[in-house]
Amino acid sequence: MIMSPTQPDIIVNIAAYKFFRWDRLESRRDELKSLCKRLALRGTVMLSGEGINLFLAGSRESIDAFLAHIRNTPELADLPIKESITDYQPFNRMLVKIKREIIPVGIENIQPVEDASPKISPKQLKQWLDEKRPFALLDTRNDYEVELGTFENAIALNLKNFREFPKAAAALPDEVKQQPVVMFCTGGIRCEKIGPYMKGLGFNDIYQLDGGILKYFEQCQHSHYQGDCFVFDQRVAVDPTLEASDICECFACKHALTPDDMLSEKYIPSQSCPYCYKTPEEQQRLRLAKRQATIRKIASEQRGSTPYENKRWISIPKRSAGLPLIDALCDFYPGYSREQWLEAIATGEIQSPIAIKDSLQSRPVSAEQKVREGERFLQRMQNYVEPKINPEIELVYEDAAIVVLNKCAPLPMHPSGRFNLNTLESILDAAYYPDKLRSAHRLDANTTGLVVYARKYSYSQFLQSQFTEGTVDKVYLATVAGHPDWDEIECDLAISKEPAPGGGRCIDVNGSPASTRFRVRSRQDNITTWIEARPLTGRTHQIRLHLSSLGFPIVNDPLYLPGGVARAEPDPDLQNKPMGLHSHRLSFVHPVTKLRVVFER
């Protein structure tokens, strides 16, 4: 028999569940899925080793055919059904799913089949209420369900979801637990599942309403009940006559809405309602919090610290043209010793890729071969492990144009030297995918503080031009060794254009002009000084080198010593610590609003 997909005038809605032990779930799922499709039914059927739970809607003929089929299973011959009628189909699709539990509670080893609480019929509950018999009514539903309606004087637990029930029930006072308690829910399934657990919480006399509120409505209508009952289909709620009420559901948060709720200015169809509406400021805070959590999660994974194959392209700059390869490599990354580069060449780690018939292949290289400007080599490092980084990155601000971060340390901004995946760039690439952020400036790996990124190339150009032209107001805070005999000073020492051995710079009268203003903020008892630094130009290592040249190197600087002297190689221990240098304040013109914005940390 193939049922017609044409919508009938009357739709029969059924809800049913039963706890019992059964198996062959995959074959049962396939069988029921085929049956429901043939009968043109919609809804959900959940199967589990602990039983079945279903909500279905369709024509009378289809529903009767479905029930006749499943009642051929001996365990389902007496399956109790709750039924109602609508003039429309309340479900959008048909799902048959296998679940670990047909109603999740979050507690192991509950056996509702063997250890269920005794049931009280709707008519018996009405009689107890009519007689004003002393007992407690316990509503086990979520708060948004309770808001629509519940029994008079029922105890509500303010649950956001049913998994909160065990803890909330355990917290009920002893005077409640020591009297008869009748639990109730929409259809009875939650109470039947939680009943065995309740006995262990000290409830001396615990019952469950047989068939839940829906069965009570069927037999007793509105007596002792105030409001409607939330149901999990397009009807949203039914009244005590089991007719669909005038309650709607918020598209965004799924909260039930009364007609008065929909008159609120906070009700925006398909967007928000009075229960989930957020001001633009609140929405911004939520977006920041969500993105912040994503960034921290990715950074905490320390992806580069798990062994992997690290591929690094080496492009020969103009200054190295004509040099032997070994000399060019030492110039490219002085953090590697000459011996390390020679070993990399000898073991084939350094390769010269060539294109052969539309494929990229490699050929061996020698340490003494001469290199050309723009020539590229590939370094392939097997089982590479990067040093760990500080993952405590703070997202300060973001909009459609810029992202401002408070960078921690040690954390390099870009892949270089020992780092590739454990870099701020790689972390942000993953956090903002598929968008690609572009840094407008840079901070050293061991420097903390504010850094700004652009979300489009044009915005990046606009920001970078401000840094290049010196129109960005930058303030750094530095902790230096020693107590200067000055309170304010401006240093105008020129800085070398090319890196020195070890990767640093040096003071060079023929170098690039550089100027930094310093002001003492406070002198500390431990022979350190807190200094405000305002760089008027933007040279590499400018603040560090100027303070070092003045005789007051920054605390934990792995490279610079007093007198402007740079170490031959960075101190490996200090490379794993934050320097006493912090990017405290940035002020620049926003690329979209064209207004000056200020950020401080």
Q: Give the pLDDT band of residue 2 (cuts 50, 70, 90).
A: very low
Among 120, 126, 83, CA closest to 220: 126
Among 517, 491, 494, 520, CA closest to 505: 494
Does residue 465 have a pLDDT over 80?
A: yes
Determine the Cα–Cα distance for residues 317 and 497; give it in Å rounded to an integer: 14
Cβ-based neighbours of 263, under 8 Å, separated by 6 or more: none
Among 168, 146, 292, CA closest to 227: 146
Q: Give the pLDDT band of residue 113 (cuts 50, 70, 90).
A: low
Residue linked to tokens 């109790």: 80
Determine the Cα–Cα distance for residues 349 and 368; give it in Å rounded to an integer: 16
Number of structural domains, the chain?
Answer: 4
Report if residue 389 sits inside a domain. Answer: no
Does residue 257 have a pLDDT over 50?
A: yes
Same domain, 445 and 578: yes
Does residue 360 have a pLDDT over 60?
A: no
Q: What is the pLDDT of residues 505-520, one digit of tens each?
A: 999 999 999 999 999 9
Q: Give the pLDDT band of residue 592 (cuts 50, 70, 90).
A: very high
Q: How far apart are the first and last CA of the chain?
A: 72
Same domain, 419 and 464: yes
Q: What angle do CA 397, 401, 407 make, to 5 degrees?
A: 40
Among 389, 453, 455, CA closest to 420: 389
Of 362, 384, 406, the one marking the end of a domain is 384
Determine the Cα–Cα distance for residues 449 and 445; give it in Å rounded to an integer: 11
Determine the Cα–Cα distance for residues 142 and 34; give it in Å rounded to an integer: 34
Same domain, 207 and 355: no
Q: Mean of the pLDDT values across residues 445-453?
A: 97
Q: What is the pLDDT of residues 556-574, one digit of tens each?
A: 999 999 998 888 888 889 9
Determine the Cα–Cα distance for residues 218 and 271; give it in Å rounded to an integer: 35
Same domain, 376 and 410: no
Which of 162-176, 187-201, 319-333, 517-531 is predicted with the least confidence, judged by mean pLDDT?
187-201
Of 245, 261, 296, the one marking the end of a domain is 245
Helices (H) and strands (E) in the chain, counts: 15, 32
Name the more confident of 267 and 193.
267
Catalytic sites, residue numbers: 185
Same domain, 147 and 73: no
Of 384, 402, 434, the one marking the end of a domain is 384
The 8-class DSSP code of residue 577 comes to S
Domain span at 501: 394-600
Same domain, 338 and 406: no
Q: What is the reported pLDDT for 3? A: 46
Determine the Cα–Cα distance for residues 22 and 102; give it in Å rounded to an integer: 13
Determine the Cα–Cα distance for residues 532 and 480; give it in Å rounded to an integer: 11
